[in-house]
Amino acid sequence: MEIFRGRRLWIEKRMIRSPRGTKMERVIIHPNSAVAVLPVEGDRCKLLRQYRVAIDQFIYEVPAGTMEPGENPEETARRELIEETGFAAQTIATRGFIYTTPGFTDEKIFLFEARDLSPSDEYSKDEDEIIEVVDIPSAHLRGMIRDGTIVDAKTICLIHLCLGC
Amino acid sequence: MEIFRGRRLWIEKRMIRSPRGTKMERVIIHPNSAVAVLPVEGDRCKLLRQYRVAIDQFIYEVPAGTMEPGENPEETARRELIEETGFAAQTIATRGFIYTTPGFTDEKIFLFEARDLSPSDEYSKDEDEIIEVVDIPSAHLRGMIRDGTIVDAKTICLIHLCLGC
């Protein structure tokens, strides 16, 4: 049964049968698939300092966004990287995907590492987002995860997968 | 405006004002706070092989669950560890928290590392969950993340924070 359908999410209530045969109600959130991309430049990375309405806070995140109709994940990664940082990547490598929180959503985020960056002509900042691009030495990222400065799950996963730190 | 209120989630639609002053509609999912815990025993860890309705798949995950009224995160971690693995931990250490996917939810998962495990008398398997406990050498976890065997975000974050691998 549909609870809600919006531009970014649709939400359904589903009756399922447990292993014991009990009927259970589950609410499942279906967002569009998304990508996240870690831009790496020598011994530094670019992260965003971004305001998030849901948690009413600024947090550190990698560039990320949802896939538009007709896009494949790599195309979305290239587009979002330009839109959010102003840099285009010559090299984009896949780093797999994650399920963000499969207890209530099927959201899947495809992960990419971007290298060989150069300022993009196509850059036009999305004025509906509050974003600051910050350049951080890769060697600092492990400490920023340990001390709770970086708390965004996709960002931690991507740093782990790209830098193994 | 409330869209839905259930036992595990409430969902609201909120009108917000963008930096440019444009009015925007955002749907925000508010689940209960949750915990996740990595049980470590010598050079091995216990993970779960668990069926998830939302993605219709079995995936590897650390033991996890939502906080009951009156519980603090550590109490939830101890309870879920027993309920899902049958083991109690003498030592529970906090490893911070993550926001799972702050684009549309304020879900926060508190992370713990459990050591000094012993079989628990209180163990009574929750028959509404399809769970198998698997013992995995800690040295294998890095490879399981790299090759896409482990794709659950909180599990990757917790392995990174506990084992630095």
What ipTM was predicted for this assembly?
0.95
> Under a CB-based contact definition with an 8 Å cutoff, are residues A86 and A118 in contact?
no
CA distances from B151 to A14, A76, B130, B137 (A): 24, 20, 18, 18
* Closest listed residue to residue A98, CA positions, set B105, B100, B104: B100
> Under a CB-based contact definition with an 8 Å cutoff, are residues A39 and A46 in contact?
yes
Which distant-in-sequence residues (6+ apart) come within 8 Å of B13 by Cβ?
A4, B1, B3, B25, B26, B27, B28
Spatial strand order in the sheet of A23-31? A2-5, A9-17, A23-31
> What pTM was estimated for this model as a whole?
0.95
pLDDT of residue A125: 65
CA distance B62 to B41: 14
Name residues of chain A where pLDDT drops below 50: none
Answer whether residue B159 shows pLDDT above 60. yes
The phi-psi region of residue A156 (left if phi > 0; otherwise alpha if psi is between -120 and 50; otherwise beta) is alpha
Answer whether residue B126 shows pLDDT above 70. no
pLDDT of residue A113: 98
Tell me the three state secondary structure of residue B87: strand
Which residue of chain B comes nearest to A107, CA vs CA? B55
Of A8, A54, A142, the CB nearest to B102: A54
pLDDT of residue B2: 93
Q: Which of A2, A25, A122, A127 is catalytic?
A: A127
* Closest listed residue to residue B132, CA positions, set B36, B44, B57, B46: B46
Query: Is A84 in the active site?
Result: no
- Write phi, then psi, for A57 (nearest 5 degrees): -150, 155
pLDDT of residue B121: 80
CA distances from A115 to A11, A110, B33 (A): 37, 17, 36
> Under a CB-based contact definition with an 8 Å cutoff, are residues A50 and B42 in contact?
no
Distance from the Cα of residue A92 to its chain's centroid: 15
CA distance B29 to A8: 12
- For range B136-145, the mean pLDDT: 97
pLDDT of residue B165: 56
Among the residue ranges B10-19, B63-72, B110-119, B149-158, the one predicted with the least confidence is B10-19
Instruction: Indicate the helix (H) or strand (E) that contains B10.
Output: strand B9-17
| R_g of chain B computed on alpha carbons | 18
Which distant-in-sequence residues (6+ apart) come within 8 Å of B123 by Cβ?
B82, B83, B86
pLDDT of residue B123: 66
- Write phi, then psi, for A121 (nearest 5 degrees): -70, -25
- Here the tokens at position A8 are 């970014």
Q: Which residues of B touch A18 (CB under 8 A)?
A: 127-128
Q: State the smallest CA–CA distance between residue A121 and chain B in angstroms.
A: 23
pLDDT of residue A124: 67
**Side-chain half-sphere CA neighbours of B126 within 13 A:** 15
Distance from the Cα of residue A55 to its chain's centroid: 16
Query: How many Cβ atoms are within 10 Å of B12's Cβ, its own excluded?
Result: 14
Of A105, A152, A157, the CB nearest to B102: A152
Q: Which residues of B touch A152 (CB under 8 A)?
A: 98-99, 102
